[in-house]
Chains A and B, each alone.
Chain A
Amino acid sequence: MKSQTPQAVILFSSTAHALMAEKIAKTQGFPCKLIPVPRHLSSDCGVCLRFNAEDRDALEAALRNRIDWTEICLLSSS
């Protein structure tokens, strides 16, 4: 991977929620991207939102009360 910045993903129960979360995050200037859910996290065929792990608290605050998520996981940097 090109970036050395530690990354994390937020998982949602619905792709509709993931898309809304991406929209909120982008409007607030968080670098992020919707990616297929990594197989080791869930066998769900949907998407999750990848973001810089250092933004975790700020992003959670931005999404709280607007979007429900199921979990947040750090991605290993390998």
Chain B
Amino acid sequence: MNKNIVYFDNAATSWPKPQVVYLTADRYSRSIGGSPGRSGHRLSIEAGRIILEAREKLASLFGISDPFRIAFTKNATEALNIAISGFLSSGEHCVTTSMEHNSVMRPLRAMEKKGIELTVVPCSSGGELNPLDIKKAIKKNTRMVICSHASNVTGTIMPVEEIGRFTRECGVVFCVDAAQTAGAVSIDVEEMGIDLLAFTGHKSLFGLQGTGGLYIRKGLETEITPLLRGGTGSRSEFEEHPDFMPDRFESGTPNTPGLAGLEAGVSFIMEKGINRIRKKEIELTRYFIEKLRAFTFVEIYGLQEAEKQIPVFSFNIKGVSPSEAALFFDEEYGIMSRPGLHCAPAAHRTIGAFPRGTIRFSLGYFNDTAELDRACAAISDLAGRRRVS
């Protein structure tokens, strides 16, 4: 690992991964490498076992009793597209929030053109959602409520338990975009009343890019049309695509090296304990918020309450554009951050940062307070240079 790099872009993709993730993916590629479960020889079967292992670990992490309720996809975006485009049809109503990522918003807007009705419930300028506003938005023809578990712009955690409680009461399907929380905040689909859970492998689950998945509550799979159909290694004699989990949503050769790495990432999380990971991230959040607040020239977005957010921070420095700041942090301090709208224009409108955007620092389990100190030095250096010039 490059010691001179401070990596604060974990909300885009986590880096570095635990060593075991690289080693496992490498071992799979060199010594196994078969097409999972397709061919019946030992390397193919071993590849299949690795995927089964990954499925079981993720099921146990998310409180899912049957691992086959998880279909692997290439990322959260694909999972969300299956859940949205494959499920909603013309005349049906869907409720979402004003903090969503484009991976939710764009498929929904496309479905709106095809005749679904969409309600976007506004959130506060801190990115906070009042669950009662979701409840009020539910009507007779509401088929689905979809929201992120935590915002990728402000880090604000959404009240999914509350929403899950009343969607269950009124028989509305509840879909959660856990791209930012899977692996970092504990998730139990049963306790939270989640019917569809979209996750990505390459962020807090420490897997490789090109991995993700969709949990589908038992019985719901027949109501969802797959995006892709093709080879599954099962029921080859039939030209009709299978209707059972997970094959229905898993056409084509998967990213097996990636899933091998993901399995190792999830094992790492389970060994550390998700509560310990969360605790460390809360401490980092508290530390940074306090430092950041001391700067009078910094405007911070979001709730700024460590317990109510993940370690994602959006801010602006007076007189400096987000892109200038990000370039400065990279070139002068080796800090990797992300400027702009973070694929979430609606969220930026909500927090009052549209179209300018913000600088985003997103931390993970492998960051530490020394790095935050360096970041604070960089911020005051940049602001200082701005004042004298």
Contacts and interface: CB of A to CB of B under 8 A. Distances in A.
B127 interface: no
A20 B51 CA distance: 11
Interface in B41-99: 41, 44-45, 48-49, 51-52, 55, 67-68
B246 A45 contact: no
B37 A15 contact: yes
A34 B52 CA distance: 14
A18 B232 CA distance: 13
A21 to B, nearest CB: 10
Given A23-B52, A35-B40, A44-B235, A16 B45 contact: no
Given A13-B242, A15-B37, A46 B234 contact: yes
A78 interface: no
Contacts of B48: 15-16, 19, 47
A42 B237 CA distance: 8
A17 to B, nearest CB: 7
B235 A16 contact: no
A43 interface: yes
Contacts of A31: none
Most chain A CB neighbours (cut-off 10 Å) among B45, B51, B68, B242: B45
A14 interface: yes
B165 to A, nearest CB: 29
Interface in A49-78: none
Contacts of B38: 15, 45-46
A36 interface: yes
A19 B52 contact: yes
Contact of B68 (A17, A34, A37, A42): A17
Interface of A is mostly: mixed
Contacts of A16: 37, 48, 51-52, 55, 68, 234, 246-247
A44 B39 CA distance: 11
B234 A36 contact: no
B236 A19 contact: no
A46 B242 contact: no
Interface string B234-272: 111100001010110000000000000000000000000
A52 to B, nearest CB: 19
Interface size class of A (residues with CB under 8 A): 20 to 34
B233 interface: yes
A44 B52 contact: no
A13 B52 contact: no
A29 to B, nearest CB: 18
Interface string B107-118: 000000000000
Contacts of A13: 234-235, 242, 244, 247
Contact of A43 (B41, B236, B242, B244): B236
Given A14-B232, A16-B52, A19-B49, A46 B40 contact: yes
A16 B53 CA distance: 11
B43 to A, nearest CB: 12
Contact of A46 (B49, B52, B236, B246): B236
Given A16-B52, A34-B40, A47-B45, 10 more contacts: A13-B234, A14-B235, A16-B51, A16-B246, A17-B68, A19-B37, A23-B49, A35-B40, A36-B41, A46-B234
Interface of A: 12-20, 23, 34-37, 42-47
Give me the 7 closest cross-chain CB pairs, A-B, nearest first: A36-B40, A15-B37, A45-B236, A43-B237, A14-B234, A19-B52, A47-B40
5 contacts: A14-B234, A19-B49, A19-B52, A36-B40, A46-B37
